[in-house]
């Protein structure tokens, strides 16, 4: 009786184990069937389609989307290769790595909020008075690195119609002549700058022209208020109202945009510092932290 009972129990256990193994095999098959195909693999690390979500935005063209996605995949592969190589050459302190990852995560979160706060509160309007005040207070920081000119410049194809009248137009102070020159330049010039209140870098104006080979540009500027020259393709007309030599103080108008950007960047720094201070004081008042 006991022998028969033991055999029956043994058969039942074998059946149960086999059944469990069958269920496990079915689960593994289902898992394999539902697992998406990887996009890339490096060693035993896989990159899946879910990892690419958000890489390409809705407004992008299919070409731009594909390019950005492939750039991300290639960067992932390169980083994984580097990481796996590093793991074979160096024994890392895992706890230290995790601490650095955590520090970076918190820094990134703080930076993202800081950027959001600055964008919401930054005043980008900078008055001329503020720019002038900053210029006067920091004038030693605005020394010219290049020769600059204020005046008019026009570059015309040699076949442009009525090109010989340009000299008269560019030197005239009459409003009708100024308007005629603007209209002419708009129609025929390869490039031009006719606002004589704008400062221009002299080397940029004469680039790719015969004037670029002038040996002493400072002396040339001192001796010439009107310049006309030509090459096989173009004729160049320059009327100089004023010039400044390198290593002298920049005129305010030439550095105005730079000063505006400096002031805005200083405001960004002040906002970031103020945000941090305000949050700290609020937390201190509300007893949201303790230092033991």
72-104 tens-digit pLDDT: 999 999 999 998 898 888 888 888 888 999 999
pTM given for the model = 0.67
Identify any residues that bridge with 230 across adjacent strands, giving them in sequence order: 235
The DSSP element (H or E) to which 87 belongs, if any, is: helix 62-89
Q: Tens digit of pLDDT for each residue in 117-130?
A: 999 999 999 999 99
Collect all residues with Cβ–Cβ distance below 8 Å to 134 and sequence separation of at least 6.
259, 262, 263
Please tell me the predicted confidence (pLDDT) of residue 63: 87
Cα dihedral 178, 183, 185, 188 in deg (nearest 10): -150
At 4, the pLDDT band (50, 70, 90 cuts) reads very low
Instruction: Out of 44-58, 76-90, 147-161, give the one with best mean pLDDT.
Output: 147-161
């Amino acid at each position: 009786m006991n022998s028969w009972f033991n055999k029956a129990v043994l058969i039942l256990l074998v059946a149960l184990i086999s059944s469990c193994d069958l269920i496990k095999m079915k689960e593994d098959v289902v898992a394999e069937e539902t697992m998406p195909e990887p996009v890339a693999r490096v060693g035993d690390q896989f990159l899946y389609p879910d990892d690419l979500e958000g890489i390409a935005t809705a407004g992008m063209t299919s070409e731009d989307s594909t390019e950005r996605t492939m750039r991300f995949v290639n960067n992932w592969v390169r980083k994984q290769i580097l990481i796996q190589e590093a793991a074979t050459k160096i024994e890392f302190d895992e706890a230290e790595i995790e601490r650095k990852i955590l520090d970076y995560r918190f820094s990134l979160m703080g930076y993202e909020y800081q950027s959001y706060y600055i964008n919401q509160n930054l005043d980008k309007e900078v008055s001329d008075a503020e720019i002038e005040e900053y210029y006067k207070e920091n004038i030693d920081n605005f020394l010219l690195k290049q020769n600059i000119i204020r005046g008019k410049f026009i570059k015309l194809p040699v076949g442009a119609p009525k090109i010989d009248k340009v000299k008269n137009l560019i030197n005239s102070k009459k409003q009708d002549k100024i308007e005629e020159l603007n209209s002419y330049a708009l129609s025929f010039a390869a490039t031009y700058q006719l606002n004589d209140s704008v400062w221009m870098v002299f080397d940029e104006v004469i680039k790719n022209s015969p004037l670029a080979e002038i040996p002493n540009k400072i002396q040339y500027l001192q001796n010439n208020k009107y310049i006309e020259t030509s090459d096989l393709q173009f004729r160049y007309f320059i009327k100089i109202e004023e010039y400044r030599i390198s290593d002298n103080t920049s005129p305010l108008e030439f550095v105005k945009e730079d000063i505006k950007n400096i002031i805005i960047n200083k405001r960004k720094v002040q906002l970031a510092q103020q945000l941090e201070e305000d949050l700290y004081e609020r937390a201190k008042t509300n007893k949201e932290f303790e230092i033991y």
